[in-house]
Structure 1
C-alpha cells in the first residue's frame, strides 16, 4: 500500500480506499497501492470479498494526465486491472461522482459494480486523441454489447447510473454506498466464484456471426473521416473485442493506444487540455475575488444579444433583455424559445426546465430596466458612438453594476472613457451562435479593476464557456488573426487560386469550412460595408458584392447555392470574374498546391500571433490556441496555430515567411522579430513566459 491507498476490514470484507484528491487520478503511487492491496487480500484467509471505493467527491475520474508523454511508470494500469479481475474473491466497485477513463476501466475489471444514483460513467479518452488503453474497448462490449460500447467510446460522453444499470454496466443503484457495497460483496462471496467480464461472450456473439452488421455499427458511430486518428483506432479496437480472443484483443488495444499516446495528435489535445486550464488562472493581487452575480442584463435583442441572454437563462441566472424596438425584442425572445422548444422535442431538455428558463428571461424597451442588474452586457450595433451613449447612460442607471461590451473590434478603452468608472468596464466577446460556441474573450481594458476581471472570467465559466483573457487592440486576438487570413485569401485569389481550391485545402487540413464558404455563410455584405466605411477595398470580395452576390442569403457568393441548401457549388461566373480581375490589375496568375495554400493562409496568421504575444495582447501562446480552436474551427487535433507552428518547427515557419515575403513584396509577410528570435534559439512559442 501507499499513503494514497488504504486497506481496511469490515468483518470479512476488505475495503480498499483510493484517496488521491481532488479526483483520485491514477498516478503511479495509486496504481502501486491498489496492486499491493489486491495482493494482500488474496492471501488473507479472513477475507471473503473486496470493495474498491474512493474518498472525496468522486470515484477515479481518470488517469494522471501529467504522466502522458513521459516514460511509462510501473505498475501499468492493465496489470493492475488484470490482478483485480483474476482475484479469486469477489471484487465490488463502489461508484460515486464520476467513474471516467481509467476509473471506469478499473470498475470493468471488478466483478460487480454498485453506484449512487447521481454517478456518471464514461470513457472520454477520444477527446484527448486516445482510446481506452487498459481493457476498456475489450471489456465494455462484453458487458453492455457492441452498440452501447461503440456509442460510449466514440462519443466520449458519459452516461448516468440509471442508464448504466439498464444496459448492464451497473449491477445495483444504492442509496447508502459504503454500507450497500459491503453488503453486496458479502452476498457475492456467498455465491462463490465471481464472474469475470472477460469471459462473457453472450453480448458480442451476435456480431461475431455478422461482420456486415459490425461494419454498419462502426460506420454509424464513427461518422465520416475527419483527420482524427483516434476514431478509426477505436473502431479497430472495438471490432477486435468481437473478432479476436480476449488476450489478442487486449494486445491490439494496447498497441493502438500506445501509438496514439506517442503521436502528435494526442500531444495536441493534451496541450489544449492544459492550455484551457491555464487560461482560467489569473495573476491577481492577494485577496481579490470575483463578485457574485445574481442578476444580469443584456442590451440588444439581435442575434448576439438574444444568444447571450439565453446563455444566462440556461445557466439559471435571471436576465432582462432590453431593446428600444419592441419588434426586435419579440423576435429575439421568439428565437430563444424556439431553440428551447426544439431541445425539448429532441429530448435534450425537459418541458419543466424550459418553463424555468422562460421565467428567468424578461424583456423591456426601457433602459431603466437594467437598474437591478449586477452585470450588464451591451450587445448593440457595432458603432462606437452608439456604444459610448449606452455606457454613459448606464453610468447613471446602474451605478454599481459591472459593465461589459460584446464588441468584436472596437476600442474598449474608448468605450470605458464614456463612464465615470472605467475600472468597472471590460469586454465579454461572445461568439455566434452564443448558446453553442464555447469561447469568450474576456478583454482587459487599461483601467479594468482586478475584481472586475476576475468576475468576467468567473461568469464565463458559470455560463459553461471557456474564458481567455486578452488585451485591447483592433479585433483583440481572434478577429485580429482572422483579418490576416481574410486578407491572405484575397491575395491568393488574385495570385492564382480559386475559391474551391482554397476551401478544399483548409478543410483537408481540418477546418470544418474554408474561408470562402465561411464568408458566404456570414454574408459578404457585412465586411463590404465595414470596408466602405473605412475607405478600404478588397478587389474580389467587393466586386462580388457589387454584383449582388452576398453569399448564402442571396444564393450566390464565392459559390452558388441551390434553394434551401447550404452546400457550396463551384460557379464558373465567379471564377471568370476572379481571373478577369487579376488580368485587370496586371497580376500574372500561377497554380498553388494545397500545401502552399495552407502555408500562405496560416503562416501569416502565426506571424500575427507572434506579434500579439510580443505586444502582450495574449499572455501565452496557449491562449491563442484555445481561442482559435474554440472560436474559429482550427482543428483541435493540431493543437491550435501556435502549437502547430511549434510542432513543425519555427525555422521552417521563418524560412517560408521569408520566401513568401520575397514573392509578394508584402512587408507584413516578413517573419516577426519573435519568430526570428525563437527560431534562432531553437525554441518554440510554448517557451515564451506569460
Structure 2
C-alpha cells in the first residue's frame, strides 16, 4: 500500500471479513489519497484468498460525504472515482458498504457500486451535485434508478434532496438498518453473506424498472418552475431519459461526459463560488477563530409585531426558552395566537407534529415588564424603526439585564453606534437584522459596532447558525449591505418610470433576469403605505430628484395600496394576479409632465443595466468603506436575502463575469444620462477596471 493511501485508508482483518476504514476528516471526502487507498485495499482483498467479503466504513462522524471540491478545477488524477467504482462493481467477491452520517454524491455512488448496503438508523443519503450546478459523474444516474425506481431516483438527482435510512430501506437502497454498533453489525452481516454463499450482486446488472411514460415531461415542467434558469435539473431529466433506453455502459459514459462539461459551465462555477463564499462568510474579519461564543440558554424578544413574532419562532425552533416583551397584554396575546397559527400551518403541511407544536409553545413566555430579565443571555429588539423609541427600550434593558447579556437590534437602517451609546456596556451591543418573514428568510445580517466585543460577534454568528440562518457580518452603514444596495435598484426603477418605462416592463426585465419578483409587484405585495413610510423616513437624506420622484406617495394618497386594496402599480382580482392598469399609465404621464420629463422608449438593456449596475457600484463603495469584509459576503447576502439567482453567483461574481471595464463604461454612460450623483463609478471599480481585474482578482 502506498504511503499516501496509508494516511487516509487502512485495513483490518476480522476472520474472513476484510474491513477497510476511511479516515479523512472532517467529512471523509473522496480526495485522491482516499481513492488510491480504496483501490489498494480492493486489490489486497481480491488477491487474498482468505478474505471472502469486504466491509467499507468510515471513521469519524460520517460516511463519505462527497467529492473533494478542491479538486474540481484540477485535471482528473487517477484513480478517478469512476475508475474506482468500476473496479468495485467488477469485484468477484461481495463488498458491504456500512453507512453512518451522510452518504452523499460520490459517497453514495461508492455505496451503489457495492453488493450490499447497511446503515445506521440515523444515516442519510443523497446526490446533491445539482445544487452545485453538477450531476453525478460516476454512475449515480444509471445505478440509483435501477435500485429505487425512476421516479424516486429522478427526484433525488434533479432536486438534490436527502432521504433517511428507513425510507432508503423501503425504497430498496439499503438492505438493512442498524441501531447498534455499526462496525460490529456490518461485520456480522458480511459473515452472514459469506455463510449463504458469498453472492455478488451488481446494480449494473439490474434492469430499469418500468415507469409512467408522462413522468419525464411532467418533471421537466415542474423543475422549470421551481429552478428557473437552472440548467442542471433539466439535464438530469435528459440523462434519466437516456439511461432508460441505453445499455448501462453507454449511459454511464454519457453521464461522465456531461458531468465534466458541467464542471466547466458558468452556472456550476457560480454555484460552487457561493458554496465556498457561505463558508468564508462565517469567518468574522478581525476575530480569531479560537474566540469562544458566550453561552446562550435563554433569550428575549422586544416587540410582538410581525417581525418580533417571526424572530421568536426562529428561537423557539432552536429549543431556546424565549420571552416575548410587549407593551400590552392584548398585543402579546395576539402575537402568541399568530405564532400558534404559524405552527398549525406547519402541522397541516406535515412538517411538524401536534406534540412538537406544544413543545415549542411551552418554551414561550410573555411579559409587559422588564423586571424579570436577569437570567436572560441575549435580547433581540424588534420595535418600530424610530431611533428615540429604540433608545428608550435600550435604556430599560440596560437597567434590567445582567452585565454579560447581549443586546441585539433588528434595525434595518438606524445607526447602531447611537444605540450602543444608550447602554452602560456598549461592547454587548450588536445588530441582528432579520428579513421578513423572519421565520422563513435565510439571511441574517449581523452588524458590528466599533465597540462590539469579539466574543459577542462570535456569539451572534454561532446563534445565527443555530437558528438555521446564513449569518453574514457587516459593518456600520445606513441600510447595511442588503437594503443599501436595494435602495439603489429601487431608485433606478422609479427613475425609469419617469423616463418612460412601465412597471410591467421593468418587472418583466428583472424577473427575466432571474429575480423571483419584480420591484413593482414586490412593492404592491409589501403595501404602498409601508413603502411611503419608508420613503418618509429617508426623505431628508435623499437627493432633490429622489425627493421629487414621489410616485409612491401619489399612489398611496390615491388609496392604491397594492394587493391589500386591490390596486397599486397593478390591478388585482380575486386571484391576486397583477394586471396592467391604464390609470397608472395616466398617473405616470401626469407626473412626467409636472416634472418636465419627456417620454422616451426605454430598452430592456437599459433597464437591466441601470438596476444592476447601480447595485454593483454601491457594493463597490461598501467594500471600500469596509462595511462588508469580502465581495463574497455581498454575494451571499444577495442570493440569500433578495433572490439574486444563485446560478449567476451574486452581484460581485456576476460583475466579474461581465468585466469591470465594461461595467465602468456603462456607469460613465449613465452618469451622463442620469447624473453623476447616481452613476459616478466607485473608486474601487475605477482602479480594478484600469488594471483589467475583477473583484475576485
The structure 1 residue matched to 2:511, chosen from 493, 507, 513, is 507
CA distance in 2, matches of 1:636, 1:620: 18
Matched, 1:320 2:323: yes
Q: 656-665 vs 380-389, which deviates more? A: 656-665
**Match for residue 291 of structure 2?**
288
RMSD: 1.6
Q: Note the C-alpha offset of 1:220.
A: 4.8
Matched, 1:587 2:597: yes
The alpha-carbon distance between structure 1 residues 168 and 285, as it changes in their structure 2 partners (threshold 3 A), is: closer
CA distance in 2, matches of 1:222, 1:141: 22
**Match for residue 548 of structure 1?**
559
The structure 2 residue matched to 1:270, chosen from 272, 277, 280, is 272
CA distance in 2, matches of 1:528, 1:263: 43
Q: Note the C-alpha offset of 1:357.
A: 0.4
Q: Note the C-alpha offset of 1:595.
A: 2.7
Q: Note the C-alpha offset of 1:213.
A: 4.1
Q: Note the C-alpha offset of 1:554.
A: 1.1
**Match for residue 138 of structure 1?**
142
Q: Note the C-alpha offset of 1:223.
A: 4.3
**Match for residue 663 of structure 2?**
653
Q: Deviations over 1:66-95 (max 9, x none)?
A: 112232222211111111011010011000
Q: 277-286 vs 374-383, which deviates more? A: 277-286
Where do residues 436-455 of structure 1 align in structure 2 (5 Å cutoff)?
Answer: 436-455=440-459
Q: Note the C-alpha offset of 1:96.
A: 0.3
**Match for residue 254 of structure 1?**
256
Matched, 1:380 2:383: yes
The structure 1 residue matched to 2:190, chosen from 165, 178, 185, is 185
Q: Is the 8 A contact 1:603 1:657 kept in 2?
A: yes
CA distance in 1, matches of 2:481, 2:368: 33
Q: 441-450 vs 37-46, which deviates more? A: 37-46
Q: Note the C-alpha offset of 1:592.
A: 2.8
The alpha-carbon distance between structure 1 residues 566 and 177, as it changes in their structure 2 partners (threshold 3 A), is: same
**Match for residue 51 of structure 1?**
55
Matched, 1:476 2:480: yes
CA distance in 2, matches of 1:230, 1:579: 44
Q: Note the C-alpha offset of 1:648.
A: 1.3
The alpha-carbon distance between structure 1 residues 440 and 286, as it changes in their structure 2 partners (threshold 3 A), is: closer
Matched, 1:298 2:301: yes
**Match for residue 72 of structure 1?**
76
Q: Deviations over 1:49-73 (max 9, x none)?
A: 1111111110001111111223222
The alpha-carbon distance between structure 1 residues 545 and 272, as it changes in their structure 2 partners (threshold 3 A), is: same
Q: Note the C-alpha offset of 1:212.
A: 2.9
CA distance in 2, matches of 1:164, 1:530: 50
The alpha-carbon distance between structure 1 residues 262 and 666, as it changes in their structure 2 partners (threshold 3 A), is: same
2:484 counterpart SS class: helix
**Match for residue 353 of structure 1?**
356
Q: Is the 8 A contact 2:53 2:198 kept in 1?
A: no
CA distance in 2, matches of 1:36, 1:286: 37
Matched, 1:98 2:115: no
Q: Note the C-alpha offset of 1:6.
A: 1.1
Q: Is the 8 A contact 2:127 2:136 kept in 1?
A: yes
The alpha-carbon distance between structure 1 residues 71 and 148, as it changes in their structure 2 partners (threshold 3 A), is: same
The alpha-carbon distance between structure 1 residues 524 and 73, as it changes in their structure 2 partners (threshold 3 A), is: farther
The alpha-carbon distance between structure 1 residues 371 and 556, as it changes in their structure 2 partners (threshold 3 A), is: farther
The alpha-carbon distance between structure 1 residues 195 and 488, as it changes in their structure 2 partners (threshold 3 A), is: same
Q: Deviations over 1:235-272 (max 9, x none)?
A: 11122221221112112222221222110111111111
**Match for residue 433 of structure 1?**
437
The alpha-carbon distance between structure 1 residues 513 and 286, as it changes in their structure 2 partners (threshold 3 A), is: closer
Q: Is the 8 A contact 1:457 1:467 kept in 2?
A: yes
Q: Note the C-alpha offset of 1:7.
A: 2.1
**Match for residue 162 of structure 2?**
158
Q: Note the C-alpha offset of 1:221.
A: 5.8
**Match for residue 203 of structure 2?**
197
Q: Note the C-alpha offset of 1:333.
A: 1.2
1:30 counterpart SS class: helix
CA distance in 2, matches of 1:672, 1:553: 39
Q: Is the 8 A contact 2:283 2:289 kept in 1?
A: no
**Match for residue 558 of structure 1?**
569
Where do residues 507-546 of structure 1 align in structure 2 (5 Å cutoff)?
Answer: 507-533=511-537, 534-535=539-540, 536-546=547-557
Q: 185-194 vs 46-55, which deviates more? A: 185-194
**Match for residue 425 of structure 2?**
421
Matched, 1:615 2:615: no
The alpha-carbon distance between structure 1 residues 278 and 225, as it changes in their structure 2 partners (threshold 3 A), is: closer
Where do residues 225-244 of structure 1 align in structure 2 (5 Å cutoff)?
Answer: 226-244=228-246
The alpha-carbon distance between structure 1 residues 617 and 217, as it changes in their structure 2 partners (threshold 3 A), is: closer
Q: Note the C-alpha offset of 1:287.
A: 5.5
Q: Is the 8 A contact 2:301 2:323 kept in 1?
A: yes
Q: Is the 8 A contact 2:563 2:576 kept in 1?
A: yes
**Match for residue 640 of structure 2?**
630
Q: Note the C-alpha offset of 1:352.
A: 1.9
Matched, 1:37 2:37: no
**Match for residue 543 of structure 2?**
none
Q: 83-92 vs 36-45, which deviates more? A: 36-45
Q: Is the 8 A contact 2:571 2:580 kept in 1?
A: yes
CA distance in 2, matches of 1:22, 1:225: 31
**Match for residue 370 of structure 2?**
367
Q: Is the 8 A contact 1:154 1:222 kept in 2?
A: no
Q: Is the 8 A contact 1:424 1:452 kept in 2?
A: yes
Matched, 1:176 2:168: no
Q: Deviations over 1:347-376 (max 9, x none)?
A: 211222111101111111223243321101
CA distance in 1, matches of 2:372, 2:573: 44
The alpha-carbon distance between structure 1 residues 597 and 222, as it changes in their structure 2 partners (threshold 3 A), is: closer
CA distance in 2, matches of 1:440, 1:285: 21
2:551 counterpart SS class: helix
Q: How many correspondences in the alignment?
A: 682
The structure 2 residue matched to 1:498, chosen from 476, 499, 502, is 502
2:432 counterpart SS class: strand
Q: Is the 8 A contact 2:325 2:332 kept in 1?
A: yes
Where do residues 215-230 of structure 1 align in structure 2 (5 Å cutoff)?
Answer: 215-220=217-222, 223=225, 226-230=228-232
The alpha-carbon distance between structure 1 residues 168 and 435, as it changes in their structure 2 partners (threshold 3 A), is: same
The alpha-carbon distance between structure 1 residues 329 and 205, as it changes in their structure 2 partners (threshold 3 A), is: same
Matched, 1:115 2:119: yes
Matched, 1:28 2:32: yes
Q: Is the 8 A contact 2:27 2:61 kept in 1?
A: yes
Q: Is the 8 A contact 2:293 2:455 kept in 1?
A: yes
The alpha-carbon distance between structure 1 residues 297 and 619, as it changes in their structure 2 partners (threshold 3 A), is: same
Where do residues 373-412 of structure 1 align in structure 2 (5 Å cutoff)?
Answer: 373-400=376-403, 401-412=405-416
Q: Note the C-alpha offset of 1:218.
A: 4.9
- TM-score under structure 1 normalisation? 0.96
